[in-house]
Chain A
Amino acid sequence: MNKKVGYAIALAAALAAPFVVYPVFLMQVLCFALFACAFNLLIGFTGLLSFGHAAFFGGAGYVTGYALKSMGLPFELGLALGIVAAAAIGLIMGSLAIRRQGIYFAMITLALAQMLFFVYLQAPFTDGENGLQGVPRGRLLGSIDLGNDMTLYYVVLAIAIAGFALIARTIHSPFGQVLKAIKENEARAISLGYDVDRYKLLAFVLSAALSGLAGATKTVVLGLETLTDVHWSMSGLVVLMTLVGGLGTLAGPIVGAIVIVALENKVGDVGNWLAALTSIEWFRSIGESVTMVTGFIFIVCVLAFRRGIVGEIGALFSRTSTR
């Protein structure tokens, strides 16, 4: 019952938000929230740490951007192509990476994503260092103009909610239960007769496809796609969002994405404020090297805050209710 109220409030807030906050910023948050949720499907519910999710996020962004700009495809087809591309990359990367476990899995995904980074850097369709610029937003179903930020916001919101719903459904399905079993005790899952590799691969492809959806949508929103989205720091960023929000919680990655995206936008102001307060000029440079702040949050989270925001709140609730 409580949960339903929570969802209703969240939905109402999401519907009202663009009247208060700049819609493009909100759409970015939504895209990253979906990206983080897709990533969490792997780390939080299957126990696989991928350090290469930028390959799907940015890869789909490039494919969609190219499809809309150079091939002149309609909005829906462009998105679909992006998702298919991300799923295909996920299938190849996943089938290689699941051959090794634990730490090696993380290293392999990181290395493969870096390889794709070089491919995107050199490939003719990505425009190298400049990136794809001026990707048109087009029209939804050929009629509704998406050039308007407000209209696009509600479309993006619908896409994000569909994505979240799919993830929630997956986690609560029998398939999701098997994934959880693999996370808790892989040997046991094998002995029970589950083809663990196939489950892992399917989860990987699903996560890749949803990350692709997020990346493709982000390209449409901003109208551009650059190498930033395929760089390893993007893979790290999504890990951070999920970690801050709470690994293995449904709402955690959403909260984490909001916090981190807001932080990245505001950290320069905080730096300037600190510089004014302490008159140490160095603080002004924080804005240019946000990584220092994100790195610090990473360390704090890992050491003291492993359950993340949502996880800690949940733990607090269960503690008070048992009392």
Chain B
Amino acid sequence: MTVASLAQANGLHAQTPEPPPKGSYSESQAQGIDRMIMCPVCPAETIDQAQVEISFQMRAVVRGMLADGKERDEILDFFVERYGKDILAAPPKTGANLVAWLAPVGGFGAGLVAVFLIIRSMSRQRPALVTVQPVQDAGLIPYLQLVDRHLDLTRGGTSNQPSYSVESRGTDVPEQTEGQTEKEDNG
């Protein structure tokens, strides 16, 4: 059956013509298929979105085929046969087009590995802090943290100065309490 005759069979003008024998498909199923098929005449829109005659007709075809008991893949194949692979809104997950799907996964994996390596190499530069043995005497912890904080003040330079610059008031506030809360945590 051609697109046109199928469309006519289902009432050309109706948006989503109720196909005569209401087959065993749901409207959301049909819409799922609509969203996989590009409108051939409009830029970058699927037939679900496009408000032009041909997409009305194609939606009718989708519903007609579903009512005939066709599967999703069969319907998509039907359109691919007529319009070519680019009628599909996403590349098929087969053959060479698998690359389209695998590249993001690969990229993400590489990103994760990279972040892991970066963190490891950045933290390795000062191993002493990371591998330090837990302080035996819990009472010392607040003082050690105080020392840490003061070292930070002298080293960090710009942002950790006490409050004479415009920025530092806001930013050094938490630094003060960070120590306090860690104290609480450990105490």
Do these two chains really belong together in a complex?
no
Residues of B within 8 A of A (CB): none
Residues of A within 8 A of B (CB): none
